[in-house]
Structure 1
Amino acid sequence: MTSVPEDSPPLMGEEDREMAVQRLQEAYTEGLISHEELDERLHQVLTAEVHRELVSALGSLPAEHPDTTSTIAAASGRIQRRGAWRVPRILKVESAYGRVRLDLSRAVIEHPVVDIELQLGTGGARITVPRDAVVDVEGLRTEWKDLRYKTPRRSRPGGPTIRISGAMGYGRLRIRHARS
C-alpha cells in the first residue's frame, strides 16, 4: 500500500467530475458562459487529475448574489450534497424525517462565511467541512443527542468560517474536517 504525503493535492473521483460537468452545463443554459467558454471549461474538467484543477474550472463562474439563500427540503428520505457543488452564502436544510449528508470538502465555497441553518426533526446529520475551515456551532440547539465535533489539533489559517445554527429534534449532528 502506497502512502500519500499529507500535503499532496486530493485526487478527484468520477462523481466530482460529473458534478462539475453538470454545473458547467447549468451555467451555459443560464447564459452565464458562452459556447466557446463551455467547451474550454469542459475540456479542463474532463482532463483534470486533482481537485484544485476542477475548482479552477468552476471557480471563476459568475458569483451568485452575496445574500443568496438556498433551501434544501425533504419531508422524509435522504438529503445529500457532495462533490463539486457550489455552496451558497446561506444554506437552509429542512427535513422532518431522514438523514442529511453535506460534504463541503470538495465544494466550491466563494464566501468567507457560510451559514448553514438546520431545521431537522428526526434523523441524524453529518457535515464534512474543508480541512482549513473554522466551525461555529453556537447557534445550534439540540433536543435529544449532543453534537459530535472536535476542533482539529492542527488547523491551517485562511479557510472559510462555517456557522451552523438552527434546531435538531431527535438525532445527532456529526461534524468532521476533511482529511485532505
Structure 2
Amino acid sequence: MRAADADRIQAAQLLTEAAAQGQLPMPEYEERLTKAYAAKTYGELERLSADLPVAFSATRNTGPAHPAPSTLLLAIMSGFERRGRWNVPKRLTSFTLFGGGVIDLRYADFTSPDVEIHSYSIFGGQTILLPPEVNVDVHGVGVMGAFDHGVDDIGSPGAPHVTIRGFSLWGSVGIKRKKRKAT
C-alpha cells in the first residue's frame, strides 16, 4: 500500500526519537531520514525501523496528520530560541524588534509536509537553521538590512517543504543549512 505524507512524518519522528536515544548514529539517522521522506509504500517505511525497539507499523496510522497550532515567536528588546526537539507547526511567525532569535529546525519534528515561516526583523536579527534534507523557498526583502537568499533550495525528494517569507528593516534574517552534530 502507498504511504501518505502523514505516514512519512510519523516514520521520521520515530527515527528522530531513536537518534535522540542513541540507538542510531547521526550519519545512519540522516540516511534513513532521507529514505523515509522518499518512501512510497508502507513496506519501505517499515524496513527503515525494523531493527528499532518501537518499529513503524501501518496499523499505527491514525488518519490524516494534524499540524501543531500556529506559533508566534516574539522578541522585543529581548531574544528567543527554538532549538532541539520541538513540533514545527504548519505556520510559524517570528518577530524581532531590537532583539534576536534562533529557529533551529535540524532536530525538530515536522507536523506538516508544508511549512510557512513568516520572519520580520526590525533593528534586530534572526537566524533560521535548516537540516540538509528539507526543501526551501525564500521570499523576503531587506530594507537597509538583509534577508538571506543564499541558501540552496533543493533538499531530498519527499522531504518537508519550508517557505520563508518576510522582511527586515535595519536588521537581518539569516537562513543557513547546517548538518546535525554527530552524537
Runs of 4+ aligned residues of structure 1 deviating over 3 Å after TM superposition are 44-52, 62-67, 151-155
Shift of 1:121: 1.2
Partner of 2:75: 74
Partner of 1:177: 177
Q: Which amino acid aligns with 1:86?
A: N
Q: How does 1:8-157 map to 2 (within 5 A)?
A: 47-50=21-24, 52=29, 65-66=66-67, 68-138=69-139, 140-152=140-152, 155-157=155-157
Distance 1:46 1:133, change over 3 A: closer
CA–CA separation in structure 2 for the residues paired with 1:153 and 1:68: 25
Q: Give the gaps of 5 or more residues in structure 1.
A: 1-19, 21-40
2:161 paired with 1:161: yes
CA–CA separation in structure 1 for the residues paired with 2:148 and 2:95: 20
Q: Which amino acid aligns with 2:168?
A: M
TM-score, normalisation: structure 2: 0.60
Q: Give a deviation string over 1:79-113, Cα, whole Å, max 9, x none.
A: 11111111111011122111111110110012111
Distance 1:143 1:64, change over 3 A: farther
Q: Give the gaps of 5 or more residues in structure 2.
A: 1-15, 34-48
Partner of 2:41: none
CA–CA separation in structure 2 for the residues paired with 1:115 and 1:128: 14
Query: Once superposed, what is the RMSD of the aligned Cα atoms?
Result: 3.5
CA–CA separation in structure 2 for the residues paired with 1:47 and 1:175: 28
Shift of 1:154: 7.4
Distance 1:168 1:64, change over 3 A: farther
TM-score, normalisation: structure 1: 0.61
**What SS class does the counterpart of residue 145 from structure 2 fall into?**
coil
Count of residue correspondences: 136
